[in-house]
């Protein structure tokens, strides 16, 4: 049986048995090779579910939208499972809120170019880390040699070049907040940019306020980012957002020890909400 | 716009650096007061903003200051181990280390954002820190961060393939769904 | 499958010949294979460290690099404690950081990953598999032989380099000796320095270092000392006569404590002859004690057998007495019952 | 619209000498929200303060900026002043025109510009402040002392003598702690029991003191003035209201157990009193070793008890009470040297004993009735080696710190040994001899004159040869190797925190240092307070100490407690964190980061989208929060804000400054 068939069969069984209230997967979209996320509540709809190499969207964050209806079943690849771990560690959901059908992921493709997605070529954990059952086998995928290659590219520029580089990014940003909406770390009840707080981030769309948003976003998610690359994929302006996230992750790795977020369910505090007496001292 | 490697030549004559110093109430603010009691002399370019603890230091304050045209930012607190609130500066140390690197990654000159631990007794260190910060920032010139979206950077429309956008959908339902 | 790369060291065919002979004997019996590292070189021992720290790291690293290439996947065994420590020190240094490893590579000008582990012969023979094999091959338990297991200073210290047994009170050799039936004694000088390196330079200070080792072994009732280091062995075995001479001159009783390699005793327990194991080429006469203890063991076994027989006899006697008592009691009861019945009958009448 | 009053001070010529105060005032009048500006020669003087008060009332001012000296100097003064006016004392901002402006700059024009900015910042901030009200916390006039050793007893007595109720929780069956185990105390050589047991009975009989022996703290909640503490009184199996302490049960009990009080050198019964002078002077049954409780057979003690006090059905009792203050007097234990020092035999040799074992050996009520006899064969040792710093000052094996009391008690041990065994030899291996204290060095020199042989160096190995313990070491003064054949070796081992202190400290959120000792709030200025308000430290819970120092600290802790309990009410600092529950997600990052354990995550019910939902939110305990603001930065959603230093007000200050 193919993974897709197993997913359909299991979704049907799980919904019929009443073990879960909703199931999240993908369905075929309007265009060739396009898929979109699908939430089903009726076992009869299980036949709509697909799994192919064009399933670009990460599913985990949809759990928060449909959790009110009851336990959620969903398909998880490496990135989805890490996102679920993230949500559990941030106490947004509980482990028992979700039933995870794992599926090995060989890396997804861009439906237009048929090239591998950037986020998938950079992915280091393509197979699910947390799951209740596996639909099929784990998949093989090449792991990138240097996790921080793109950060090093930017670091190689001069300071003035970098200023200009990032200012052009902030100039392009249209503040649609798609990067936030898709991010499994961004689970605030109300994001700081949506709040009405005087003298905080302004609502205008200009370089300065966009910089405020961009930098704050990185400081908020940097120590918890699961490197799924969804923010970058969904950005309508194609901004290289992972260059910022990975910079912070790289520095934390260098300064406070190797870590990768969202690999295991644990109550350990994230890097910036803890400390060691022996941390490096450079402000003396 | 040409990439300006150094705007030192473009420093206006009557320009004075503006620097904001976030100081913790228990150590550095006390040290700054002691500098006053000792009638030490330091440049007036620094304005001290009192916060209870360096652990209270929100990175957003720095972004705001730089965005609004401050030429430099200093963050000062108790020495690690001396925090009045026991652990505040340990958290601040981690956060500021990461944040400073992030700002520099985005092209900010290291001299514009400095962090120092200054105890309540180190009036001299406070004076020296202020003098050094003013000197550093003066050499760098006025801050050169863009606020508004420059005309030359008006973004192109997303380079979506227009054909696909306008075309009649090739396949409304893939075969396998019907099967 | 026990297969190791062997680092013979300079003593293997010289002063430590009986160690090599007996090791090969034991290894063959228990199915353990040693493959010599091709073109191995001197480990550098303490002399290299005194010359330059780089040399001390580079000399062993060369042999290890060869082992890594030519004998991939095999752990390196060093029988000599000095070699073991030199190799370990170099290995630990190379593993400490990527910079160190790079430095070592440059020094030896060879590809080197520091992946091959170095263990001592004692450690190799203490592995569970080896122990099982040894226990299975014992044909003659060395009972009555009280041994003081002497590990020497280099085998278990410093902990950050060696770290396979307790640095103050190691047990691996004691356990092996217990396995072959000998009685390891608890004594205090298991890891004390024998002063081998200083015997030539400052004999006045160094001789007492040997004497006190014998002294403590003797005071704790040991018949002999068992070592795992050719240098310790040489030092103790060769100088015992000289020390005894001095003791006699000072009016003290001389020692009669032969020294053995632990492999010699294991070989003996496997049924090997002294000459097959190199026991006949020791300085201090080493065979008499073994013969005497073998005799003691036979007598002990006789006595034990007699005691067992006596115990069996006593048990049997006891069982018999109980049976007799039971029978008597049963008879009595039967008689009483009968009498009672008779009385009853009479009453009835 | 806010009505801000700005009051600028000349401070004689202190400020006015370098700052054109009138020019600053002129600028201040143009600032939004400012309705009144006044300059004054000495604002802090009585007429100056009166002027401020009058202006506030006349002009209807609702928030105030003052521009005098540092707020560290007079902020309390201004708050007090505002308390007498309709303006809330926290609607105040101080612009530091003197210490951080006029005194540090020379050029009047530049200094005036800076002063203008400082006033601008203050005005901007004060416009964003909101009135705060300190709440009054009632103080329960009752103290809890944890630990009934000499420090705990002294603290309890001092507090009780001042007229307050005190409860002592002692986990052993008797008061007395370590001091009552000692034989004599240096440097006066008075008998420890003679000075300790009267204290014990004083505590036991004090009308204001309740002793809960054989008890431990189960849980705690609350904050200064209002700690709710649950104490578990372990089952004693004896009804103390009936027991007369006659001791008949002890003599008949058939079960023999190692005696912990005698440091394992003798046996006690399963029903036992720790030692004859124990307080309370009544036995308990050690359930683990009692035949009746383990196997259901025996019951001898119940048979012999003349008052029928034995109750095998007894159970642990939990009681909860509220205390205003808590003192930790949890003491120390000796480090377990055996796994650390295999070179000293690692416990293999019975005649290698600790200092505390020696105390029992030399004690007239000890297992040998005061005769120094070595444990292995009960022979009098003719040569004794004393080794100092075993586990102390030895970061590789034990602790890096000095245990402080060992230099003196090792001198005492040498003295006592030479006193009792006149023909004996005593060798003391030491690293340094540290004798700061009244009469201490004299005592040490006397011991040396008594004939104790002090050898500067450490012992590297102890081994047995025959019935002698051979100690090998170095005399570093002569660079000679030394070997001493001793009959007995006394190890003066390091003090380490008592068992279970980690859990206890965590329950009370009291900090511990890397070695496990409880941490004082400030090493110099607040040595008996902890970072949790209302919790104090006495004795060796805080670090190694000798008896006089422990007693001193006990008195100091007691005076702090008395000062607190004397108040009927405490005023809380209102500049603390506040939760915006609508934004709070309840992930607990703030609670993890809080150094005072002031934040807890609680389930609360809300009405959202016309539905009732229960979700976790953070809750700040106003009695524990000290207002550091670390939580505010951790909260990404900004649900936490620090009153008095709100995010908005600081941002306003930054903005005001950037407009300059």
Between chains, do D588 and A187 touch, taking CB under 8 Å as contact?
A: no
> How does pLDDT run across B34-81, given as a tens digit for each residue?
999 999 999 999 999 999 999 999 999 999 999 999 999 999 999 988
Which domains are seen in chain B, by residue range? 16-150 (3.40.50.960)
> How does pLDDT run across C72-112, given as a tens digit for each residue?
999 999 999 999 999 999 999 999 999 999 999 999 999 99
Please report which helix (H) or strand (E) contains residue D155, including its range. helix D150-161
CA separation (Å) from D397 to B174, D336, D403, D453?
72, 11, 15, 26
First to last CA, chain B: 58
**ipTM surpassing 0.85:** no
Q: For residues B157 and D160, which has the higher predicted lDDT (pLDDT)? A: D160
pLDDT at D376: 93
Pairs of residues, one from chain A and one from chain D, whose beta carbons lie less than 8 Å apart: 55
Distance CA C259, CA C254 (A): 15
pTM exceeds 0.80, yes or no: no
Helix B88-105 and helix B59-67, axial crossing angle in degrees, nearest 10? 40
Indicate whether D489 pLDDT > 70. Answer: yes
Interface of B with A in 49-68 (CB under 8 A): 59-60, 63-64, 67-68
Between chains, do A281 and B145 touch, taking CB under 8 Å as contact?
A: no
pLDDT at B163: 61
Sign of dihedral through CA atoms D388, D391, D394, D396? Answer: positive
Q: Are A248 and A218 in contact (CB under 8 A)?
A: yes
Q: What is the CB-side half-sphere exposure of residue D526 using CA atoms within 13 A? A: 13
Between chains, do D531 and B20 touch, taking CB under 8 Å as contact?
A: no
Indicate whether D658 pLDDT > 90. Answer: no
Sign of dihedral through CA atoms A230, A231, A235, A239? Answer: negative
The separation between CA B78 and the C-alpha centre of its own chain, rounded to angstroms, equals: 20
pLDDT at C347: 61
Kindly write down the DSSP assignment for every residue of D557-620, as one continuous string.
HHHHHHHHHT-SEEEPPS-SEEE-TTT-----HHHHH-TT--EEEEEEEEEETTEEEEEEEEEE
Interface of A with B in 200-259 (CB under 8 A): 200-201, 205-209, 211-212, 215-216, 218-219, 222, 236-238, 244, 247-248, 251-252, 255-256
> How does pLDDT run across C114-157, given as a tens digit for each residue?
999 999 999 999 999 999 999 999 999 999 999 999 999 888 88
CA separation (Å) from D229 to C165, D154, D560, D562, D564?
48, 21, 20, 19, 18
pLDDT at B172: 47
Which chain B residues have a beta carbon less than 8 Å from that of D107?
Answer: 44
CA separation (Å) from A268 to A15, A265, C31, D181?
34, 9, 49, 44
Interface of D with B in 546-605 (CB under 8 A): 575, 593, 595
pLDDT at B1: 37
DSSP state, residue D530: -
Kindly write down the DSSP assignment for every residue of D75-114, as one continuous string.
HHHHHHHHHTSSS-TTSEEE---IIIIITT---HHHHHHH
Does any CB of chain A come closer than 8 Å to the CB of residue B147? yes
Tally of CB atoms within 10 A around D19: 29
Which domains are seen in chain C, by residue range? 2-123 (1.20.1050.140), 132-298 (3.40.50.11810)
pLDDT at D466: 85
Percentage of chain B exceeding pLDDT 70: 78
Kindly indicate the confidence band of residue B156, based on its pLDDT and cuts at 50, 70 and 90: low
pLDDT at B159: 54
pLDDT at B3: 43
Q: Are D25 and D123 in contact (CB under 8 A)?
A: no
Which chain D residues have a beta carbon less than 8 Å from that of B79?
Answer: none
Contacting residues for C8 by C-beta, under 8 A, at least 6 apart = C20, C36, C40, C79
Beta strand D142-146 pairing with D165-169: parallel
Mean pLDDT, all residues of chain D: 93
Structure-block tokens of residue B51: 């916060």
Select from C166, C167, C188 the Cβ nearest to the Cβ of D463: C188
pLDDT at C118: 94
pLDDT at A204: 85
DSSP state, residue D526: B
Between chains, do C188 and D346 touch, taking CB under 8 Å as contact?
A: no
Beta strand D226-233 pairing with D317-323: antiparallel
CA angle in degrees (0–180, nearest 5) for D504-D510-D515 = 80
pLDDT at B173: 47
Work out the average pLDDT over D351-378: 94
Which chain D residues have a beta carbon less than 8 Å from that of A68?
Answer: none
Q: Are C67 and C37 in contact (CB under 8 A)?
A: yes
The separation between CA A131 and the C-alpha centre of its own chain, rounded to angstroms, equals: 17
Distance CA C342, CA A10 (A): 89
pLDDT at D562: 97
Instruction: Please name the residue that has the structure tokens 């603010």.
Output: B29
Distance CA A189, CA D616 (A): 12
Alpha-helical segments (H) within chain C: 17-30, 45-51, 53-70, 81-96, 98-108, 121-126, 128-137, 172-179, 203-219, 230-249, 262-269, 274-277, 287-348
| Burial of D218 from C-beta contacts in 10 A (0-12 / 13-18 / 19+) | middle
Distance CA D550, CA D554 (A): 6
- Nearest chain B residue to A201 by CA distance is B64
Work out the average pLDDT over D201-211: 95
> How does pLDDT run across C291-335, given as a tens digit for each residue?
999 999 999 999 999 999 999 999 999 999 999 999 999 999 888
> How does pLDDT run across D164-180, given as a tens digit for each residue?
999 999 999 999 999 99
Distance CA C322, CA C317 (A): 9
CA separation (Å) from D377 to C339, D332, D348, D349, D358?
64, 31, 15, 12, 15
Indicate whether D305 pLDDT > 80. Answer: yes
- As beta bridge partners, residue B77 has B117
Q: Are D475 and D492 in contact (CB under 8 A)?
A: no
Please report which helix (H) or strand (E) contains residue A28, including its range. strand A22-28
Indicate whether C201 pLDDT > 90. Answer: no
Work out the average pLDDT over C30-59: 91
Smallest CA-to-CA distance from C60 within C9, C98, C133, C21 is with C9
Which domains are seen in chain D, by residue range? 4-127 (3.40.50), 135-234+316-331+498-568 (3.50.50.60), 235-315 (3.30.70), 334-496 (3.50.50.60), 577-643 (3.30.70.20)
Distance CA D528, CA D507 (A): 19
What residues in chain B have their Cβ under 8 A from chain D's Cβ atoms? 18, 20, 25, 29-30, 32-33, 35-37, 39-42, 44, 47-53, 55-58, 60-61, 64-65, 68-70, 84-88, 91, 95, 127
Percentage of chain D exceeding pLDDT 90: 87
Q: Are D178 and D185 in contact (CB under 8 A)?
A: no
Instruction: Please give chain A's pLDDT, 284 residues, in tens.
Output: 789 999 999 999 999 999 999 999 999 988 888 999 999 999 999 999 999 999 999 999 999 999 989 999 999 999 999 999 999 999 999 999 999 999 999 999 998 889 999 999 999 999 999 999 999 899 998 888 899 999 999 999 999 999 999 999 999 999 999 999 999 999 999 999 999 887 788 888 899 999 999 999 999 999 999 999 999 999 999 999 999 999 999 999 999 999 899 999 998 899 999 999 899 999 98
Shortest Cα distance, chain D CAs vs residue C203, angstroms: 16
Work out the average pLDDT over D314-322: 95
> How does pLDDT run across D526-574, given as a tens digit for each residue?
899 987 889 999 999 999 999 999 999 999 999 999 999 999 998 888 9
CA angle in degrees (0–180, nearest 5) for B21-B25-B26 = 125
Select from A47, A244, A272 the Cβ nearest to the Cβ of B94: A272
Indicate whether B161 pLDDT > 60. Answer: no
Work out the average pLDDT over D92-97: 95
What does residue D218 show for φ and ψ, rounded to 5 degrees?
-90, -50
pLDDT at B2: 40
Which chain A residues have a beta carbon less than 8 Å from that of B119?
Answer: none
Chain C and chain D touch, per 3+ beta carbon pairs within 8 A: yes
Indicate whether B164 pLDDT > 80. Answer: no
What does residue D10 show for φ and ψ, rounded to 5 degrees?
-80, -30
Distance CA D9, CA C340 (A): 128
Distance CA D361, CA D371 (A): 7
């Amino acid at each position: 049986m193919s993974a897709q068939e197993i997913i359909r069969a299991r979704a049907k069984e799980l919904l019929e048995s009443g073990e879960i209230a909703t199931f999240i997967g993908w369905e075929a979209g309007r265009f060739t090779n396009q898929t979109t996320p699908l939430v089903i509540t009726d076992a009869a709809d299980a036949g709509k579910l697909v799994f192919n190499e064009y399933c670009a969207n990460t599913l985990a964050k949809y759990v928060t939208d449909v959790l009110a209806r009851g336990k959620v079943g969903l398909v998880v690849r490496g990135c989805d499972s890490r996102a679920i771990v993230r949500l559990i560690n941030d106490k947004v959901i509980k482990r028992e809120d979700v039933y995870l059908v794992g599926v090995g992921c060989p890396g997804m493709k861009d439906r237009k170019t048929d090239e591998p997605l950037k986020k998938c070529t950079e992915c280091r954990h393509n197979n699910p880390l947390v799951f209740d059952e596996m639909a099929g086998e784990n998949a093989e995928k090449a792991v990138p040699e240097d996790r921080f290659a793109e950060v090093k590219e930017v670091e190689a520029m001069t300071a003035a070049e970098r200023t200009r580089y990032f200012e052009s990014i902030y100039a392009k940003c249209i503040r649609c907040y798609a990067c936030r909406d898709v991010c499994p770390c961004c689970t605030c009840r109300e994001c700081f940019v949506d709040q009405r707080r005087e003298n905080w981030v302004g609502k205008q769309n200009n370089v300065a306020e966009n910089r405020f948003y961009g930098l704050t976003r990185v400081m908020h998610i940097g120590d918890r980012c699961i490197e799924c690359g969804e923010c970058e994929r969904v950005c309508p302006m194609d901004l290289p957002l992972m260059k910022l996230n990975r910079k912070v992750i790289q520095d934390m790795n260098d300064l406070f020890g190797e870590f990768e977020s969202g690999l295991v369910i644990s109550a350990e505090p994230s890097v910036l909400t803890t400390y060691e007496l022996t941390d490096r001292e450079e402000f003396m | 716009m040409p990439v300006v490697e150094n705007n030192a030549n473009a420093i206006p004559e009557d320009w004075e650096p503006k620097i904001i110093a976030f100081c913790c109430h228990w150590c550095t603010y006390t040290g700054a007061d002691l500098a006053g009691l000792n009638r030490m002399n330091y440049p007036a370019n620094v304005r001290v903003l009192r916060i209870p603890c360096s652990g209270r230091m929100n990175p957003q304050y720095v972004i705001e200051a730089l965005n609004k045209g401050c030429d430099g930012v200093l963050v000062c607190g108790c020495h690690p181990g001396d925090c009045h609130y026991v652990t505040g500066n340990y958290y601040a140390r981690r956060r500021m280390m990461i944040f400073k690197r992030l700002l520099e990654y985005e092209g900010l000159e290291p001299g514009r954002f400095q962090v120092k631990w200054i105890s309540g007794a180190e009036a001299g260190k406070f004076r020296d820190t202020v003098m050094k910060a003013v000197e550093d920032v003066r050499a760098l010139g006025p801050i050169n961060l863009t606020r508004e979206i420059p005309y030359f950077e008006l973004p192109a429309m997303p380079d979506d393939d227009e054909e696909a956008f306008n075309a009649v959908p090739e396949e409304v339902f893939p075969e396998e769904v019907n099967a | 499958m026990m297969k190791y790369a062997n680092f013979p060291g300079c003593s293997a065919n010289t002063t430590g010949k009986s160690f090599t002979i007996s090791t090969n004997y034991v290894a063959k019996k228990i199915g353990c294979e040693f493959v010599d590292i091709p073109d191995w070189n001197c480990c550098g021992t303490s002399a290299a460290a005194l010359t330059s720290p780089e040399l001390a790291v580079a000399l062993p690293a060369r042999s290890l690099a060869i082992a890594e290439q030519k004998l991939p996947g095999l752990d390196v065994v060093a029988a000599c404690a000095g070699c073991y420590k030199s190799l370990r020190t170099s290995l630990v240094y190379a593993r400490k950081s990527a910079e160190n490893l790079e430095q070592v590579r440059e020094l030896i000008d060879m590809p080197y990953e520091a992946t091959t582990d170095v263990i001592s012969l004692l450690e190799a023979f203490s592995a569970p598999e080896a122990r099982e094999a040894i226990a299975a091959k014992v044909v003659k338990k060395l009972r009555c032989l009280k041994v003081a297991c002497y590990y020497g200073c280099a085998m278990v210290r410093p902990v950050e380099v060696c770290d396979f047994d307790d640095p103050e009170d190691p047990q691996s050799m004691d356990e092996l000796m217990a396995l072959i039936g000998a009685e390891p004694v608890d004594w205090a000088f298991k890891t004390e320095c024998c002063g081998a390196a200083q015997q030539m330079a400052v004999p006045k200070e160094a001789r007492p270092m040997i004497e006190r080792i014998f002294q403590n072994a003797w005071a704790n009732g040991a018949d002999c000392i068992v070592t795992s280091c050719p240098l310790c062995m040489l030092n103790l075995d060769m100088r015992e006569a000289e020390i005894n001479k001095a003791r006699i001159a000072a009016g003290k009783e001389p020692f009669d404590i032969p020294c053995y390699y632990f492999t010699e005793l294991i070989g003996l327990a496997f049924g090997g002859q002294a000459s097959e194991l190199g026991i006949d080429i020791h300085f201090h006469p080493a065979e008499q004690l073994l013969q005497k203890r073998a005799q003691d063991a036979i007598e002990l076994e006789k006595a034990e057998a007699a005691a067992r027989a006596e115990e069996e006899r006593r048990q049997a006697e006891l069982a018999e007495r109980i049976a007799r008592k039971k029978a008597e009691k049963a008879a009595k009861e039967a008689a009483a019952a009968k009498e009672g019945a008779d009385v009853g009958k009479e009453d009835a009448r | 619209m806010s009505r801000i009053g700005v009051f600028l001070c000349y401070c004689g010529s202190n400020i006015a000498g370098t700052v054109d105060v009138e020019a600053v005032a002129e600028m201040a009048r143009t600032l939004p929200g400012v309705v009144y500006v006044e300059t004054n020669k000495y604002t802090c003087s009585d007429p100056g303060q009166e002027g401020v008060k009058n202006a506030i009332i006349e002009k209807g001012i609702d928030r105030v900026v003052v521009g005098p000296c540092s707020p560290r100097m007079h902020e309390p003064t201004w708050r007090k002043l505002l308390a007498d006016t309709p303006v809330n004392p926290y609607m105040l901002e101080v612009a530091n025109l003197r210490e951080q402006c006029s005194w540090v700059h020379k050029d009047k024009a530049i200094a005036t510009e800076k002063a203008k900015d400082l006033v601008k910042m203050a005005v901007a901030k004060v416009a964003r402040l909101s009135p705060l009200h300190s709440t009054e916390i009632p103080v329960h006039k009752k103290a809890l002392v944890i630990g009934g050793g000499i420090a705990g007893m002294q603290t309890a007595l001092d507090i009780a003598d001042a007229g307050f109720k005190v409860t002592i929780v002692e986990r052993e069956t008797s008061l007395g702690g370590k001091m009552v185990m000692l034989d004599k105390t240096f440097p006066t050589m008075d008998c420890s029991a003679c000075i300790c047991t009267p204290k014990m009975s004083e505590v036991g009989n004090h009308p204001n003191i309740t002793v809960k022996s054989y008890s431990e703290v189960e849980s705690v909640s609350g904050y200064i003035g209002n700690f709710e503490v649950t104490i578990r009184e372990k089952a004693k199996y004896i009804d103390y209201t009936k027991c007369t302490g006659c001791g008949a049960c002890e003599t008949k009990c058939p079960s023999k157990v190692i005696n912990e009080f005698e440091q394992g050198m003798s046996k006690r019964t399963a029903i036992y009193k720790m030692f004859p002078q124990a307080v309370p002077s009544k036995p308990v049954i050690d359930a683990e070793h009692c035949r009746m409780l383990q196997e259901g057979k025996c019951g001898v003690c119940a048979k012999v008890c003349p008052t029928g006090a034995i109750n095998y059905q007894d159970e642990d009792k939990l009681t909860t009470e509220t205390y205003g203050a808590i003192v930790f007097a949890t003491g120390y234990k000796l480090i377990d040297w055996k796994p650390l020092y295999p070179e000293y035999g690692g416990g293999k040799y019975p005649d290698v004993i600790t200092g505390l074992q020696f105390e029992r050996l030399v004690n007239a009520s000890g297992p040998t009735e005061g005769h120094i006899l070595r444990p292995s064969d009960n022979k009098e040792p003719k040569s004794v080696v004393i080794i100092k710093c075993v586990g102390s000052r030895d970061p590789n094996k034990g602790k890096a710190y000095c245990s402080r009391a060992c230099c003196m008690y090792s001198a005492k041990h040498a003295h006592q040994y030479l006193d009792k065994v006149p023909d004996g030899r005593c060798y003391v291996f030491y690293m340094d001899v540290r004798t700061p204290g009244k009469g201490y060095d004299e005592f040490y020199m006397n011991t040396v004159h008594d004939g104790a042989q002090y050898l500067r160096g450490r012992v590297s190995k102890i081994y047995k040869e025959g019935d002698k313990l051979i100690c090998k070491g170095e005399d570093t003064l002569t660079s000679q190797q030394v070997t001493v054949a001793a009959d007995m070796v006394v190890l003066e081992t390091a003090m380490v925190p008592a068992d279970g202190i980690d859990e206890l400290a965590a329950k009370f959120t009291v900090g511990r240092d890397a070695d496990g000792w409880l941490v004082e709030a400030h090493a110099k200025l607040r040595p008996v307070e902890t970072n949790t308000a209302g919790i104090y430290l006495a004795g060796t819970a805080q670090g190694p100490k000798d008896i006089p120092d422990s007693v001193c600290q006990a008195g100091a802790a007691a005076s702090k407690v008395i000062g607190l309990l004397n108040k009927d009410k405490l005023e809380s600092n209102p500049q603390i964190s506040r939760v915006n529950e609508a934004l709070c997600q309840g992930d607990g990052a703030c609670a993890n980061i809080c150094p005072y354990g002031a934040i807890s995550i609680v389930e609360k019910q809300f009405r959202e989208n016309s539905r009732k939902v229960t979700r976790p939110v953070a809750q700040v305990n106003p009695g524990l929060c000290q207002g550091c603001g670390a939580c505010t930065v951790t909260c990404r959603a900004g649900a936490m804000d620090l009153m008095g230093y709100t995010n908005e007000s600081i941002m306003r200050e930054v903005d005001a400054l950037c407009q300059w």
